[in-house]
Amino acid sequence: MSADEQALAYKMELSALEMLDWFIEAGADEATENSPINWFEISAKAVKIAPSQTPKHTIRPAAALAQPMISAAEIIKQANTVSKKSMTLESLEKNLRNFVGCTLKNTAANTVFADGKPASRIMIIGEAPTSEEDRTGRPFLGQSGALLEKMLHAIGLERSNDYYLTNILPWRPPGNRKPTETEISICMPFVKRHIELFAPQMIILLGSLPLRNLIHQDHGILKSHGKWYNYDLDDKKIPLMAIFHPNYLIQQPAAKKAAWKDLQEIKTKIEEIS
């Protein structure tokens, strides 16, 4: 193959990879057929047996009988049990990676646990991994992560040394869809245990999802951002503030002025705690 042919082949391969990345970012991360498939019809045909083909003596082993489905309440109970058995952040991460109770794990590439400085005292909790974070297994990457780092750098905080990042959901919902209440409820025991083991001096929430599920604040981020709340941890009250998610600020640049004011409040509180 000549040098020109090799260069052309490389460009074609690169274009294909770029196109694939574009589809993944757009949420098209599952393969489909060109025409719809009636799975109900196929299933019916698969189990239908003509009378003439029915054996005179049919033996149905116990293993072939349908097993009862586990209820959501039972799965949440299992999540509570598994999370409570975790005595360190390392064991919690291991147990979360091995947990199969949440269907989101079936379509995710990675379990996105946490990033940042485990020895810091500021815990930042977001919503769910993006496609890039799902591929790498690290939270808050790409454009959203870059903006968050820039925001926190403006008040003297560095990702490598001053704060710790995680999400309510460790697995990306397919196509970045909105997670169901059941999916969130299954993940929450791990989130709460994560907070207990990290033992932060301050919690920063990004967006409405952690706000609604950690302190049950239903007013939404537009009314609740920039206000201080308390998170009860054993006998301590941990100062907690919700701010706009970086993705929201990318879509609504006009909100950056309010976001900067919130960051100033956080900076002041850090100085008080220190």
Token pair recorded at residue 159: 């990702």
DSSP state of 162: T
The pLDDT score that the predictor gives to residue 218 is 79
In this prediction, residue 68 carries a pLDDT of: 58
**Angstrom distance (rounded) from CA 24 to CA 219:** 33
Q: Is the pLDDT of residue 4 over 90?
A: no
CA pair distance 23, 62, nearest whole angstrom: 45
CATH 1.10.240.10 fits 72-273, yes or no: no
> pLDDT (tens digit, 9 = 90+) per residue, 146-177?
999 999 999 999 999 999 999 999 999 999 99
Give the separation between CA 59 and CA 61, rounded to whole angstroms: 6
Range 122-129 average pLDDT: 98
For 80, other C-beta atoms within 10 Å of its C-beta total 16
Give me the residue spans of the domains in the chain.
72-273
d(CA 180, CA 185): 9
> Angle between the 256-273 and 142-153 helix axes, to the nearest 10 degrees?
50
d(CA 169, CA 235): 26
What tens digit of pLDDT does each residue of 214-252 get? 998 878 899 999 999 999 999 999 999 999 999 999 999
Instruction: Determine the pLDDT at residue 54.
Output: 44
By the 8 A CB rule, do 191 and 124 touch?
no
* Mean predicted confidence (pLDDT) in 18-29: 57
**CA pair distance 33, 42, nearest whole angstrom:** 15
Residue with the bigger pLDDT between 35 and 79: it is 79
| Strands of the 228-233 sheet, one edge to the other | 115-116, 164-167, 122-126, 202-206, 236-243, 228-233
- 3-state class of 142 per DSSP? helix
For 58-107, the pLDDT digits (tens) are 444 444 444 457 899 999 999 999 999 999 999 999 999 999 999 999 99
- For 182-200, write each residue's pLDDT tens digit: 999 999 999 999 999 999 9
What sign for the dihedral angle of Cα 113, 217, 266, 230? negative
pTM for the full model?
0.76
Please state, in angstroms and rounded to a whole number, the distance separating the CA atoms of residues 60 and 55: 12
pLDDT of residue 47: 45
What does the pLDDT read at residue 62? Answer: 45
Which pLDDT score is estimated for 274? 81
Contact criterion met (CB below 8 Å) for 183 and 74: no
pLDDT reported for residue 46 = 46
Residue 184 contacts residue 212 (beta carbons within 8 Å): no
Task: Tell whether the model's pLDDT for residue 15 goes beyond 60.
Answer: no
The structure tokens listed for 12 are 């074609």
Q: 237 has which bridge partners?
A: 232
